[in-house]
Amino acid sequence: MACAICGTRFDPEAEVACGSCPMSGACTLACCPECGYTTVDINSSRSAGLLARLFPSRTEGRPVGATLDGATIGGEVAIAGFSDAMTTGHRELLRAYGIEPGRTVRVEQHSPVTVVGVDETEIALEADLAKLVFVAAKP
């Protein structure tokens, strides 16, 4: 799980931040070990899990920092890396298409999906994936 405030990744099962809390036994909240921010652990809470599945968050899993889905249209950005939340298969697929750390891509549009120019090819990818690609200003 990643803290929505500071981005620290931690295991909610470990209960590192709230072990001292008297309610920690049946509690389905998780506290960030770095900043103490409280987040609902949707794997533990059935009702919150059901709600989360019915109304999926558009920002859930979004890594902290600049990501490809937010890059300025018409500009060029350097790929800085991939979020840990991205599967190895997706990571390798993007790399095979030329979207890989260190490379510069042209951002062409974000709606209905993100389209980037890589070398002489255009690659279309959904926001779900584009939000897991870190970008930085073109060197």
Partner 1 sequence: MTGEMPRQAGFVALVGHPNVGKSTLFEALTGHRVIAANYPGTTVEIVRATGRRLGDTFIDSPGILSFPSRTEDEQATVRVLLDEELVGVLQVGDAKNLRRTLLLTVQLAEMGVPLTLALNMADEAHDRGLPPDSDGLSRLLGLPVVATTAVRGEGIEPLEAALRRPELASIRVRYPEPIEVAIRELAKLLPPASVRERSLALLFLAGDPVVEEWVRARCDDRRMGEAVRIRSVAAEALGTPLSSAILEARFEVVDSLVGHTTQASAGSRPIRKQRVSRMTTHPLWGLPLLAIVLYGMYWFVGVFGAGTLVGWLEGTLFGRYINPWVISAVGRVSAWDWLQDLLVGEYGLWTMGMTYALALILPIVATFFFAFGLLEDSGYLPRLAVLTNRIFRAMGLNGTAVVPMVLGLGCVTMATMTTRILSSKRDRLLVILLLSLGVPCSAQLGVVMGMLGGISMTAMMIWAGVVIGVLVVVGWLAARLVPGDRSVFVTELPPMRRPPLRPVVLKTVARVEWYIREVVPLFLIGSILLFILDRVDLLAWLIGVAEPLVVDWLKLPAEAATAFMMGFFRRDFGATGLFLIAGDGLLSPLQMVVSMTTITLFVPCVASVLMIAKERGAGTAAAVTALVFPLAIFIGGLLGRVLEFIGWSA
What's the closest the beta carbon of residue 2 comes to partner 1, in angstroms? 19
The DSSP code for 12 is G
Q: Decide if residue 108 touches partner 1 (CB under 8 A).
A: yes
Q: Whole-angstrom Cα distance, residue 85 to residue 42?
A: 16
Tokens (6 digits) for 82: 């991939």
Sequence-distant (6+) residues with CB within 8 A of 54 are none
DSSP annotation string for 45-113: -HHHHHHHHHS--SSTTPPSS-BGGGSPTT-EEEEEEE-TTS-HHHHHHHHHTT--TT-EEEEEE-SSS
Piece of the chain touching partner 1 by CB under 8 A; list 2-10, 14-22, 31-39, 87-95: 87-95
Closest to partner 1 by CB, 125 or 135? 125
Among 34, 41, 76, 128, binds partner 1 (CB under 8 A): 128
Piece of the chain touching partner 1 by CB under 8 A; list 6-14, 15-23, 34-42, 123-131: 123-131
Give the three-state DSSP class for 129: helix
Piece of the chain touching partner 1 by CB under 8 A; list 24-32, 33-41, 62-70, 108-116: 108-116
What's the closest the beta carbon of residue 103 comes to partner 1, in angstroms? 9
What's the closest the beta carbon of residue 72 comes to partner 1, in angstroms? 16
